Amino acid sequence: MIASNTPYANLTPEVVLAAVERLGRPTDGRVLALGSYENRVYQVGLEDAEPVVVKFYRPNRWSVAAILEEHAFARELAGAEIPVIAPERIDGATLFEHHGYHYAVYPRRGGRWPELGTSDDRVLMGRFLGRLHRVGATRRFEQRATLGVDAMVRSSAAVITGGDWLPEYLRDRYSQSVAAIADQAEAAFAGVAPRFLRVHGDCHRGNVLWTEQGPHFVDLDDCVMGPAIQDLWMLLAGSRAEMTGQCRDLLEGYEQFNEFDRGELALIEPLRAMRMVHYAAWLARRWADPAFPRAFPWFGGARYWENHVVELGQQLEALTEPALRL
């Protein structure tokens, strides 16, 4: 029986090795934990073969059907020669179960954090995203989520206000800020009316491995139906002028392979605000998992919430500014 608060308590190195070996992959006993919080990911050494990466899904987060849809999307992209690291198919399957855990096996791929410090690098990244979205637009997800304000903002805020997270003197300011963010984000989406397609969903630099040949996209765990800008805005950083130049480069590459509605630039700051609210609630939802207090010791104290409420207020001001103009 897997406990909801400590879902990985029984995922010992012996269980990890046995999960790989039952697929006909003799291991050499080496298990290296890789950085992951939502799921658990390990590099496992094999006898007479390259190591593999094994991903154990957080129990009760996704349905089997939703995970299989993620796998199918990844393999569809890889089949189109888009550099996505897709799960291996073993005896016709990509998802397996052992000791109560669902898991998948991936080839190990190297790479480094993408600086995206040059125009050429950003154009190249844009090309791959344009190709990814061209495939993503060919059909819809049926089992995966659709990006929306209710799930990311209102439901997230309910997690915070429904618990003992907020100091009493911040509750009203927090509630007012997230309510305003929800209303303004909904208005922005209504004004833009973006096309929704299958997107990576969590395309920040930590989910990209950069090599001499360009990027490899990893971790489609949060793939959703969403607007194209969802996979671009998290790659932007710095001042407004800097982000404008970066976005121009990304779209130069993107539009070589796919059309982009420039109206979606108006969604950058609403999406940023939605992610800020959702991130805090994600930490709160996972706080009973012992890995989270160890990894995020700063979360939950009065100082954290004071800063968070200030940042939400600043982001509300950003929502009133004109969209980026390229």
Contact assessment for residue 285 and residue 159, using Cβ atoms and an 8 Å cutoff: yes
Among 75-79, 126-130, 210-214, the least confident range: 210-214
Summary mean pLDDT of the chain: 95
Residue 6 within a domain = no
Alpha carbons 142 and 224: distance in angstroms, whole number:
10
* 73 in the same domain as 127: no
* 126 in the same domain as 103: no
Residue 4 within a domain = no
Model confidence at 5: pLDDT above 80: no
For residue 202, indicate whether it is catalytic.
yes
Band of pLDDT at residue 280, cut at 50, 70 and 90: very high
* 176 in the same domain as 41: no
* 284 in the same domain as 197: yes
Residue 157's identity, in one-letter code, is A
Structure tokens at 197: 């397609």
Using alpha carbons, select from 198, 191, 174, 192 the residue that is nearest to residue 276.
174
Q: For position 283, what pLDDT does the model report?
A: 97
List, as own/partner pairs, every contact residues 294-297 make where C-beta atoms lie below 8 angstroms and the sequence separation is at least 24, other chains included. Answer: 295/37
Alpha carbons 100 and 58: distance in angstroms, whole number:
11
**DSSP conformation class of 86:** P
Domain count, the chain: 2
Strands 49-56 and 96-98 come out as unpaired
Selected catalytic residue, list 28, 48, 164, 219: 219
* 180 in the same domain as 289: yes
For residue 172, indicate whether it is catalytic.
no
The three-class DSSP label of residue 1 is coil
Model confidence at 4: pLDDT above 70: no
* 312 in the same domain as 201: yes
Per-residue pLDDT of 41-56, as tens digits, reads 999 999 989 999 999 9
CATH number, domain at 201? 1.10.510.10
Structure tokens at 273: 């605000």
Model confidence at 2: pLDDT above 70: no
Residue 150's identity, in one-letter code, is D
Residue 324 within a domain = no
Residue 32 within a domain = yes
Using alpha carbons, select from 239, 316, 236, 247 the residue that is nearest to residue 276.
316
Structure tokens at 270: 């609403």
Residue 3 within a domain = no
Residue 231 within a domain = yes
Among 32-41, 90-99, 130-139, the least confident range: 32-41
Residue 18 within a domain = yes
Structure tokens at 38: 């939502």
Selected catalytic residue, list 48, 164, 183, 202: 202
- Residues whose CB falls within 8 Å of the CB of residue 284, separated by 6 or more in sequence, listed in order: 159, 160, 163, 165, 300
Model confidence at 1: pLDDT above 90: no
CATH number, domain at 77? 3.30.200.70
Strands 214-217 and 224-226 come out as unpaired
In the numeric block, the tokens 């993620």 are attached to 70
- Residues whose CB falls within 8 Å of the CB of residue 79, separated by 6 or more in sequence, listed in order: none
Which pTM does this prediction carry?
0.95
CA dist list (Å): 59 to 2, 103, 119, 221, 317: 8, 10, 41, 13, 39
Alpha carbons 324 and 223: distance in angstroms, whole number:
25
Q: Which domain holds residue 278?
A: 121-318
In the numeric block, the tokens 């989270």 are attached to 292
Q: For position 118, what pLDDT does the model report?
A: 94
* 155 in the same domain as 64: no
Per-residue pLDDT of 223-242, as tens digits, reads 999 999 999 999 999 999 99
